[in-house]
Amino acid sequence: MSVARFWRKQQNRYNLIGNQCTVCGKYFYPPRGFCPVCRRDGKIVEHQFKGTGKVVTFSIIRSSSGNFKLLTPYVLAIIELDEGSRLTTHLVCDIDKVYIGMPVKRVFRKLGEEGSSGAIFYGTKFVPA
């Protein structure tokens, strides 16, 4: 893959920047350029998420591929941000400690690399708050 694929998502992934539709007030992370509620009547603006939320559901991944293979076993979780939108993340914590409703906060982490000579890409992961 080309570097542009990661570069164009940098602001979103590094700083947890998503969107809000100022018509319906709904927040979006991962970002959306088009409000699925208001559609063409919506007005999408950038929004900096606070970066705190709680665990909605999770799993311990015992078998994985690519960049995540060496991290097994790791916690995969769906997080609900305080603003209301949900995302999927690697939750960096002891696999025995995670529970539904656990408060979490964002951290900046390496997400992976494209082979030994390819681009290294970074972004947001979560840890217990």
Partner 1 sequence: MREVAVIGVGCTKFGEKWESSFRNLFVEAGALALEDANLSGEKIDEIFVGNMSAGRFVEQEHIGALIADYAGLATDNIPATRVEAACASGGLSFRQAYTAVASGMSDIVVAAGVEKMTDVGTEVTTDVLAAAADREWEGIAGITFPGLYAMIATDYMHRYGLTREQLAQVAVKNHDNGAKNPNAQFRKAITLDTVINSTLVADPLRLFDCSPVTDGAAAVILAPLERAREFTDTPIKVLGSGQASSTIALHDRKDISTLDATVAAGNRAFKMAGIERKDIGFVEVHDCFTIAEICAIEDLGFCKKGEAGRLTEEGQTAIGGKIPVNPSGGLKACGHPVGATGIKQVYETVKQLRGDAKGRQVDTDIGMTHNVGGTGATVVCHIFGRK
Question: Interface with partner 1 by CB under 8 A: which residues?
Answer: 9, 13, 30, 56-69, 71, 74, 76-78, 86-90, 100, 111-112, 121, 123
Nearer CB in complex with partner 1: 22/78 = 78
Q: Which is nearer to partner 1, 22 or 64 (CB)?
A: 64
Q: What is the sign of the dihedral through the CA atoms of 56, 80, 76 and 106?
A: negative
Q: Which residues, at least 6 apart from 89, have a Cβ–Cβ distance to it below 8 Å?
A: 76, 77, 78, 79, 124, 125, 126
Place of tokens 């529970």: 99
Q: Which helix (H) or strand (E) holds 119?
A: none
Closest separation in Å from C-beta 107 to partner 1: 13
- We find the least distance from the C-beta atom of residue 57 to partner 1, in angstroms, to be 4
Q: In angstroms, what is the minimal distance from the CB of 60 to partner 1?
A: 4
Comparing CB distances to partner 1, the nearer of 23 and 60 is: 60
Which residues does residue 53 pair with via DSSP β-bridges, in sequence order? 81, 104
